[in-house]
Amino acid sequence: MDAPLALYRRYRPETFAEVIGQEHVTGPLRHALAANKVNHAYLFSGPRGCGKTTSARILARALNCEKAPIADPCGECQSCRDLARGGPGSIDVIEIDAASHGGVDDARDLRERAFFAPVSSRYKVYIIDEAHMVSPQGFNALLKLVEEPPPHLKFIFATTEPDKVIGTIRSRTHHYPFRLVPPKALGDYLMQLCEAEGVALAPTALPLVVRAGQGSVRDTLSVLDQLLGGAGPDGVTYDLAVQLLGYTPDSLLDEAIDAFAASDGSTVFGVVDKVIETGQDPRRFAEDLLQRLRDLVIVAAVPDALDKGLLDVPGDRAERLITQSNGFGPSELTRAADIVNAALMEFRGATAPRLLLELMCARILVPGADNSTQGFQARLDRVERRLSMDGGAPAPAAAHPAAAPATAAPTPVTAPPAATQPAAPAPAPTPAAPTPAAPTPVAPAPPAAPVEASRPPVARPVEAEPAPAAPPVAQQPAPVAEPQPQPVAAAPVAAQPEEAPAGTLTIADVRRLWPEILDRIRDMRRFAWIMLSQNAQVMGLDGQVLTIALVNAGARDSFINSGSAEYVQKALHQVLGVTWRIEAIVDPGTRPGVVDDYDDGSSRPAPAPSSAPSTPPVAVPDSVRQAMREQHSPQTREDPDASADRNDPVVDHEILDPELLLSRELGAKVIDEHAD
């Protein structure tokens, strides 16, 4: 049994309606055929595999159809059947390969035979393929015949280089330039062919096939034919396409992009090592990286590019692109793309491709070594990001614990309830225990909540005061300096993580799953989720120690004092199955990630803690400030009703003082009304 023909031969179009992506050519030709206004000579030009020779055959069939003049051949007459797909051909339609018949003698022989009338058709049609290979002498020999042919003679020249056809010939023809087929039209056409062949084509593999064909229909069908030949019961899968076509897997590109965003040189050069160790072509990796950077540049410049169809990627890949683009500034992305593009030029004939690839990655990682305009813009992007993250909140956050230790002192009551058990106020430990499992808050309006809530708590402790029986007992814990070893809150964090080994997990795996980890933290405690999503970034992994960088010292202190590390450990155990020790450091260059905050699960960038000051500084009167301090006093904290909702960051009294609440939640700057 003979093997079937190649796809591009089995599915060669037979009418102009079947030709895809060339409507600017097929439309005018159909109108000319229907109106019987056909010229004696045509010049079809364009890239290879775009339908030039196929359109020439369709034009010849339509000219010799018994029902002519007609826009499309009928497919029923003898001439149409002879010139159909797989037909025997017609003696009156002659195809000549100019690559081997481009001399003067060939032109003379053609000129002598052209004057004979057609045998059985209306016209004798000469299709001269690769016409640019005809020598100037051969064109000059054909010039008189092309200029004034007999009535029964038609010429169709097809070439990929129309500039090499001498001007005297071009001026006597109707020139139709063919173009590369758009990816969207080509992808739809491939899906139709796969349905006709009965083979499944994975949506993630389709862009790879279209990209490999580079807009040429014949080249794309050849690639698809290769994949169909090697497809298994599952059809053409993404893994099969990546392996056969030599593309870089998306997981490796994601790892590299995330490492560039975090300035993690260790992971970047680890990716380079994987590329070399797995036998991949460094130049191909650079090309795929440039393609990914191009997608990120478009997503960063046009946020709704995916909805507008500027990028043709699957849905899950679209969310990943949005997440990655938020880790860069626009200048950083364009600078990285320019560096990769320049490196691709150096890869030609390179004797040490790995060295060039590593140098390319080093240039991207170190913008400070780049004295060009793009290097300065990339550094400016980082400086602006750090300034927008610092804002005005860190100053009060860092100064308050030192200036008002009385406010921060009662916090440890949560940690050592056993040690202070003899002390009278037993209600204090009781409300502190349900902190993780407290119900979600009603979320009052940020400006009014602190002022209105300050009055009821003052009245409630008055009713509850007779229960303790003696205010001196509440006053005695004033030397609550014992709980001041607040690091006790961090001590359990350090003691717990010695159970599960990290296995083969890397920092890239943690970054990839960080959004899911944040989701688990949000379910356990909303304040910890807000703290991590707006102020923190995964920095490093050393054995069983996960380092989290926070934007400033105030954020780090809030992270430690609130016991948020415990929730990070629990989330890591649920998602990754590991028990790691959490270490918090301060890094002003921290870039918070993207928060999964929509109901449908889609991602959006985390709002900066203090972005551009949309709210002007607010002067807080002393009366309001005093009322808020009374609300945050130890007596108020001991009231179980006053701390009923522990998940609302506005009423989380363990960490935030009034001035910090105003600056963090409202973006307001607290100004002393008595100051000059």
Please state the rounded mean pLDDT for residues 236-253: 89
The one-letter code for the residue type at 551 is: V
Question: 155 forms bridges with which residues in the sheet?
Answer: 41, 126
Does 78 score more than 50 pLDDT? yes
Pick the CATH number of 183-245 from 1.10.287.130, 2.102.10.10, 2.60.40.10, 1.10.8.60: 1.10.8.60
Least confident among 177-186, 263-272, 294-303, 583-592: 583-592
23 to each of 28, 35, 39, 620, how far by Cα in Å?
8, 18, 19, 69
For residues 639 and 597, what is the distance between their CA atoms, to the nearest angstrom? 33
The sign of the CA dihedral 364, 367, 370, 376 is positive
| Cα separation values, 130 from 141, 226, 547, Å | 17, 26, 64
Enter the tokens of residue 505.
């997990």
Contact 174, 42 (CB under 8 A): yes
pLDDT score at 371: 57
Beta strands in 493-651 (DSSP E): 536-542, 545-550, 581-586, 594-595, 604-605, 618-619
**Ranges 220-229, 317-326, 641-650: which has the least confidence:** 641-650
Distance (Å) of CA 90 to CA 94, 95, 124, 581: 8, 10, 10, 81
CB atoms within 10 A of CB 91: 12
- How far are the Cα atoms of 157, 255, 491, 569 from residue 544, in angstroms, in the given order? 71, 21, 16, 11
**pLDDT mean over 644-648:** 42
DSSP per residue over 257-317, as a string?
HHHHHTT-HHHHHHHHHHHHHTT--HHHHHHHHHHHHHHHHHHHH-TTHHHHTSS---HHH
Lowest mean per-residue pLDDT among 9-18, 95-104, 115-124, 420-429: 420-429
Say how far apart CA 25 and CA 59 lie, in whole Å. 12
In this prediction, residue 368 carries a pLDDT of: 59
Which range among 46-60, 92-106, 356-370 has the greatest average pLDDT? 46-60
Which of 102-111, 208-217, 474-483, 502-511 bottoms out in mean pLDDT, i.e. has the lowest?
A: 474-483
CATH number of 250-390: 1.20.272.10
> Does 410 score more than 70 pLDDT?
no
Cβ atoms 134, 98 nearer than 8 A: yes
Residue at 123: amino acid letter = Y
Structure tokens at 468: 């303790």
> Among 47-61, 238-252, 646-660, where is mean pLDDT lowest?
646-660
Q: What average pLDDT does this structure show over 374-402? A: 52
Distance set, CA 136 to CA 94, 154, 158, 475 (Å): 22, 21, 16, 108
pLDDT: which is higher, 540 or 601: 540
- pLDDT at residue 174 tops 90: yes
483 upstream amide cis, omega within 30 of 0: no
What is the DSSP code string of 114-125? HTSPPSSSS-EE
In this prediction, residue 219 has a pLDDT band, given cuts at 50, 70 and 90, of: very high
Three-state SS across 601-665?
CCCEECCCCCCCCCCCCEECCHHHHHHHHHHCCHHHHHCCHHHCCCCCHHHCCCCCCHHHHHHHH
Under the banding of pLDDT at 50, 70 and 90, the label for residue 322 is confident
| Distance (Å, whole) CA 510 – CA 502 | 11
Asked whether residue 644 carries a pLDDT value surpassing 90, the answer given is: no
Q: For residue 369, give Cα distances in angstroms to 333, 374, 378, 470.
A: 16, 11, 11, 68
Cα end-to-end span (Å), the chain: 99
Please tell me the predicted confidence (pLDDT) of residue 553: 85
Q: How confident is the model at residue 461 (pLDDT cuts 50, 70, 90)?
A: very low
Measured CA to CA in angstroms, residue 272 lies from 269, 356, 389, 512 at distances of 5, 11, 32, 18
Of 256 and 487, more confident: 256
* Tens digit of each residue's pLDDT (9 = 90 or more) over 522-541: 888 888 888 888 888 888 88
Report the sign of the C-alpha dihedral through residues 577, 578, 582, 585, in that order.
negative
Three-state SS at 333: helix
Q: Which of 53-67, 86-100, 441-455 has the highest mean pLDDT?
A: 53-67
**Confidence check: pLDDT of 222 > 70:** yes
Mean pLDDT over residues 147-160, rounded? 93
Positive or negative, the CA dihedral 640, 641, 646, 652 is negative
pLDDT attached to residue 326: 85
Does the structure show a pLDDT above 90 at 554?
no
State which of 123-127, 299-303, 385-389, 655-659 shows the largest mean pLDDT: 123-127
Strands 604-605 and 594-595 come out as antiparallel
**Looking at per-residue confidence, does 438 or 266 come out higher?**
266
Sign of CA pseudo-dihedral 64, 67, 69, 70: negative
Single out the residue of 216, 277, 244, 270 nearest to residue 507, CA to CA: 270
What is the structure's pLDDT at 162?
A: 93
Q: Could you read off the pLDDT of 441-450 as tens digits, one per residue? A: 444 444 443 3
User: How does residue 123 score in pLDDT terms, banded at 50, 70 and 90?
Assistant: very high
CB-based contact 643:569 (threshold 8 Å): no
Instruction: Evaluate if residue 412 carries a pLDDT over 50.
Output: no
- Find the Cα–Cα–Cα–Cα dihedral 136, 137, 138, 141, rounded to 10°: 120
Six-digit token pair at 7?
A: 């796809």
| DSSP-derived secondary structure for 201-215 | B-TTTHHHHHHHHTT
> Across residues 401-412, what is the average pLDDT?
38
User: What is the rounded average pLDDT of the residues 408-419?
Assistant: 38
**Is the pLDDT reported for residue 634 higher than 60?**
no
Residues 652 and 630: their CA atoms lie apart, in Å, by: 15
Beta strands in 302-388, from DSSP E residues, in sequence order: none
Instruction: Choose the most confident range, by mean pLDDT, from 404-408, 454-458, 474-478, 659-663.
Output: 659-663
Strand order through the sheet with 174-177: 93-97, 124-129, 153-159, 41-45, 174-177
pLDDT band per the 50, 70, 90 thresholds, residue 51? very high
Query: Are 296 and 328 contacting, i.e. CB atoms less than 8 angstroms apart?
Result: yes
At the top level of CATH, the class of 7-177 is: alpha beta
pLDDT value, residue 1: 52
Query: How many other C-beta atoms lie within 10 A of the C-beta of residue 406?
Result: 12
| Mean pLDDT, range 62-69, rounded to an integer | 90
Q: Which of 319-328, 406-415, 625-634 has the highest mean pLDDT?
A: 319-328
Band (381; pLDDT cuts 50, 70, 90): low
Give the model's confidence band at 161: pLDDT under 50 very low, under 70 low, under 90 confident, else very high: very high
Structure tokens at 576: 């990754």
Please provide the size of the chain in residues.
Answer: 676
Q: Enumerate the domain spans of the chain.
A: 7-177, 183-245, 250-390, 406-463+486-676
Inform me whether the pLDDT recorded for 4 exceeds 50: yes
In terms of C-beta distances under 8 Å and separation of at least 24 residues, what long-range contacts does 200-203 make, across chains too? 200/234, 200/235, 200/236, 201/235, 201/236, 202/235, 202/236, 202/237, 202/238, 202/241, 203/314
Phi-psi domain of 21 (left: phi exceeds 0; alpha: psi -120 through 50; beta: other): left
Q: How far apart are CA 245 and CA 252, in angstroms?
A: 16
Collect all residues with Cβ–Cβ distance below 8 Å to 435 and sequence separation of at least 6.
414, 525, 563, 646
Q: What is the mean pLDDT of residues 201-225?
A: 91
* pLDDT tens figures, 273-313: 999 998 888 999 999 999 999 999 998 888 888 778 788 77
pLDDT at residue 475, as a whole number: 41
- Mean pLDDT over 641-655 rounds to 42
- Mean of pLDDT over the chain: 74
Helix (H) or strand (E) holding 353: helix 353-365
Distance CA 220, CA 237 (A): 16
CB 314: neighbour CB atoms within 10 A?
Answer: 14
Alpha-helical segments (H) within 551-621:
553-561, 564-576
Claim: this prediction has a pTM higher than 0.85: no
Instruction: Check residue 58 and give its pLDDT.
Output: 94
